[in-house]
Amino acid sequence: MTSFLVTFIQAVINGLLVGGLYGAVSLGLTLVFGVMKLVNFAHGEFLMLAMYVTYWFVVYTGMNPILSLAVSIPLLFTIGYLFEAFMLSRTLGLGDLPQILLTVGLSIFLQNFAQLLWSSNYRVVPVSYPNISYLFLGIYFSLPYLIVFASSLVIAAILWLFLQKTSVGLAMQAAAQDIVAAKLMGINTRSVFAISFGLGIAITAAAGSLLAPTYEIFPTIGSTFILLMFLVVVIGGLGDVRGAYLGGLILGLVVTVSNLFVTADLGQVILFIFFVLVLILRPNGLLGKMIK
Amino acid sequence: MNLLKLNAITKKFGGLLALDHVSLQVDEKEVLGVIGPNGSGKTTLINVISGFYQPDSGDIILGDTNITRWPAHRISKAGIARTFQNTRPFLNMTIKENVIVGALSVKSDIKEATEVAQKVLEETGLQGKAERLAKDTSIQDRKRLEVARALSTSPKILLLDEPMAGLTEEEIRDFLALIQRTRERGITIILIEHIVKAVQQVADRITVLDYGKKICEGKPQEVVKNPDVLKAYLGEDYA
Amino acid sequence: MERRRIMAMMVLFAILPLLGEFAGRQYVTLVIMMFFYATLASAWDIMGGRAGQVSLGNAGFLAIGAYTSTLLFLRFGISPWVGMFIGATVAGLSSFVIGLTALRLKGVFFVMSSLAFVQVVQLLLTHFVSVTNGDIGLFIPLTSNPTQMQFSQPIFYAWLIDGILFLAIFANYSISKRRIGFYLSAIREDEDAAQALGINTGLYKSLAFFISAFITGMVGAFYAQYFLFITPTSTATIPLSIQIVLAAIIGGTGKIWGPVFGGIVFEVLTYFLQLSFPTIAGLNYTIIGALLMLIVIVSPQGFLALVERMIRSK
């Protein structure tokens, strides 16, 4: 195989592995939009919080970072649920502006509160995934990437099963499709909203905890991710869970392949151009599902 | 003279065939009623005519212009106005301001538009509530506002989307009188309605839709006796 | 009546820098920043409050205005008085990029596109080092020459930004009295219903956005001339965009004076927070973030409306 072909395939593999993660991280955001028709601008900050939870968990217990999920998932679910129930719910039905501003306000609050509590020093989780790579057919498969990809698949699969097989999940889908009809069917949409929001946060938190060992953590890391999440969710179609995962994969590919040809920061610009093109040409996402 | 002609309009939503080769025409100054059971495609029809949906096939001809793929605002400017079934007033603006927005489509000067709006408010009986915010009004007033707003654009054709749902007998009578007055001003009306008795009283002709297909058309007395129509509304047993 | 109020306020605003001058130099700076945020909030409100389209990317327009004016001056010797208008035009034209992506779509896409826009502006400004000096930034040499939009006395800067503020207020006022004002409000309330009344919503949104971006671009040129130093990370940042939005909603969106007072209140607030808690990083904005959430929940119509309500109930 020519060396460029090898490099290219390596980039594709890495792109898919990283893309699975982008997808998992964005699942929560698209779920919240699908059910509640709102964009949570603070979503990146919940990712950040989950990362810190994992960090402190490992620092205090020295255990495997994966075990931190047992703390971060319930904790962030609860925070999300309470935020929705007591604050977000008051802005629904008043148009776009209040809810955008509320979540933006939350984003500012969380970023700066984190800075207040933990300073802006970069944190690195002390126990990390073993830095091994497997060589297979001339392509390197990095273990951390594989772990992260496998976890992203598990998260996505669990969410999918939840939505399809549980009554709460089905209620969420009903609310996403037609809120009025859902109410007429006796579904307690208030409760569905709160649970959906909590769940959306929890999923992102899970992804965050799994990611934490591979990143340097700081209070504004959420901002880096939020735009990525927007891109993924728009490409996949707002509210479309499978689309979000696919969108993540595509985005991962775009990032790694474009890195072969241009420098990293221009690569970001290419991402945004891609985003703009998708919005202009296929506003319902690449999968083109109908959204109202 | 045919003012508006629909030729074989088809509209699909995914697997759902909402309109199946529907053809109809409306003459000037006519009142055409469109009835049909729920889900028969009545509102989709209005959305297609007014440019909110693009048909998958077929044409719409206004006069001798093909307006099929025109955007909604252009169709409005061409003289087709519509109301929304679930009234959509500009909530944080007054009733008068709501109507002025419509009038601005024909008079770009605010003062002139305000005069037009005043007249329309009087015609529709809303002048007493002109300064009230739309969000502080009753559903009946909102229904009137829908019509007032549409009328202020000086349309040739007025599409009414189930305007009488939920009104009392007396309110229905008032509304029918409003339709009559509008018709006397020379405006052609397509009335989509569920309350067949009301439509009978005011329509020159009635078209019946069922599952997206036109199943009958003609004078009101004939249509209501038609066996296919009865079957569509009441089921097999009543045919 | 409204016109008289505007004139009265402008007289007041013109006097303010003089009062600041008597009170002490730092107060002139305070007045300048008050007008700075008031103008940005007012410009933002044309889209955000009137048309109901929330832009989180206005800092991008500020940066474009600043860099255009500065580069024209440094490379071609063009006076910033001219550069300001060229920069504003470039900023206005760049608004069409966001507009294009969001024309036919729900409001949230517009917000997202605006966020992406300011990021892209920052990235591009950082990347093309040969043109913009990248991260290092651009220095404007101190000449104190009024024809080059530099003044030896700070009070003149205050009057300059006051002039741009007047432009913003006047723009808002004119819009409110014309068809475009009614149309933008209609678009904000219900875009579909607006279209059904013959309003070309895409056109009007684009127009409003252009005006908003243009004025913001002008403020960008002012910024460059006042601070004499610009970098991508001091101008095209999301936090600055958010500050602009905050200022507008504190005062109340959709009204002529809301954003103006919001900008003033915002600056006063940050100024005193800075004085009271000078070195604890993150505390100011933690408070601001909490405040924003509180305002949205307690009084979605803004601080000014809340004050009005309180006055009325007394």
Kindly report, residue by residue over A227-270, the tens digit of the pLDDT: 888 888 888 877 778 888 888 898 888 888 888 888 777 777 88
Per-residue pLDDT band at A290 (split at 50, 70, 90): very low
CB < 8 Å to B101, chain C: 182-183, 185-186, 194, 197, 199
Is the CB of residue C195 less than 8 Å away from at least one CB of chain B?
Answer: yes
Looking at the 3D structure of chain C, how many domains does it have?
1
DSSP strand E in chain A: where? 133-136, 139-142
Q: What is the average pLDDT score of chain A?
A: 84
Q: Is the Cβ pair C100, A119 closer than 8 Å?
A: no
Burial-class residue A250 by CB neighbours within 10 Å (0-12, 13-18, 19+): buried
Question: Would an 8 Å CB–CB cutoff place C196 in contact with chain B?
Answer: yes
In a domain, C137, yes or no: yes
Q: Is residue C50 part of a domain?
A: yes
Hey, what amino acid is at B132?
R
Cα A214 from chain centre:
16
What type of residue sits at position A52?
Y
CA distance B77 to B96: 21
Percent of chain C clearing pLDDT 90 (strictly above): 54
The percentage of residues in chain A with a pLDDT greater than 70, rounded to a whole number, is 96
Instruction: Using DSSP, state whether B197 is helix, strand or coil.
Output: helix
Angle (CA) C170 C175 C178, round 5°: 125
pLDDT, tens only, B84-143: 988 999 998 999 999 999 999 999 899 999 999 999 999 898 999 999 999 899 988 999
Percent of chain A with pLDDT strictly greater than 90 = 17
Q: Which residues contact B19 (CB under 8 A, 6 or more apart)?
A: B9, B10, B11, B41, B44, B45, B48, B55, B212
| pLDDT of C178 over the 90 cut | yes
Q: Is C104 on the interface with A (CB under 8 A)?
A: yes
Q: How far B233 CA sits from the closest chain C CA (Å)?
A: 31
Cα of C178 to nearest chain B Cα, Å = 7
Q: Quick one: closest CA in C to A278, which residue?
A: C101
Q: Does the distance separating the beta carbons of C111 and A113 come in below 8 Å?
A: no
Cβ of B72 within 8 Å of Cβ of C183? The answer is no
Query: Residue B62: phi, psi to the nearest 5?
Result: -110, 110
pLDDT value of position C313: 58
Nearest CB to C107; choose among A87, A96, A280: A96
Considering only CB atoms, B73 lies closest to which of C178, C190, C195, namely C195
Q: What's the farthest any 2 CA atoms get from each other in chain B?
A: 60
Does the structure show a pLDDT above 70 at A87?
Answer: yes
Strand ranges in C166-292 using DSSP code E only, listed in sequence order: 229-230
Give the whole-angstrom CA distance, residue B25 versus residue B4.
6
Tell me whether C14 touches chain A (CB under 8 Å): no
Answer whether C65's CB lies under 8 Å from C190's CB.
Answer: no
- Label residue A292 by pLDDT band (50, 70, 90): very low
Which residues is C230 bridged to in the sheet? C138
- For C144, the 3-state DSSP assignment is coil
User: A235: distance to nearest CA of chain C, Å?
Assistant: 12
For chain A, how many helices (H) and strands (E)?
A: 11, 2
Q: Are A107 and A224 in contact (CB under 8 A)?
A: no
Does the pLDDT value for residue B194 go beyond 60? yes
Mean pLDDT of C265-269: 91
Using pLDDT thresholds of 50, 70 and 90, give the confidence band for residue C239: confident
Across the interface, do A105 and C300 touch by the CB < 8 Å criterion?
Answer: no
Q: How far apart are CA C52 and CA B182, in angstroms?
A: 34
pLDDT for position C208: 95
CB-nearest partner of C292 from A105, A263, A272: A105
What is the average per-residue pLDDT within A33-61? 90
pLDDT tens for each residue of C28-57: 999 999 999 999 999 999 998 899 888 999
Tell whether C299 is covered by a domain: no
Conformation bin of residue B136: beta by default, left when phi > 0, alpha when psi is -120 to 50: alpha
At C309 the pLDDT is 64
Neighbours of C136 (CB within 10 A): 11
Task: Report pLDDT for A232.
Answer: 87
Q: Please provide the average confidence, as pLDDT, over all residues in chain B.
A: 90
Q: Please, what is the Cα angle at A80 between A79 and A84, to 5 degrees?
A: 115
Phi, psi of C141 (to 5 degrees): -65, 140
What's residue A284's pLDDT? 67
Phi, psi for B51 (deg, rounded to 5): 90, 10
For B19, the enclosing helix (H) or strand (E) is strand B16-27
- Are the CB atoms for B74 and B60 separated by under 8 Å? no
pLDDT at C72 over 70: yes
Contacts of A95 in chain C (CB under 8 A): 52
Domain presence at residue C260: no
- Is pLDDT of C163 > 90? yes
Contact B149 C179 (CB under 8 A): no
ipTM: 0.91
User: What domain range is C33 assigned to?
Assistant: 2-235
- How many angstroms separate the CA atoms of C36 and C263, rounded? 8
Angstrom distance (rounded) from CA C308 to CA C311: 5
- Domain annotation covers residue C264: no
pLDDT score recorded for residue C181: 95
Give the Cα separation of C114 and A275 in Å (integer): 12
Q: Are C88 and C66 in contact (CB under 8 A)?
A: no
Write the CATH number of the domain with boundaries B2-79+155-238.
3.40.50.300
- Nearest residue of chain A to residue C98 (CA atoms): A276
| DSSP letter, residue C148 | G
CB contact under 8 A, C283 and A111: no
Q: Yes or no: say if C281 and A119 are a contact pair by the CB < 8 Å rule.
A: yes
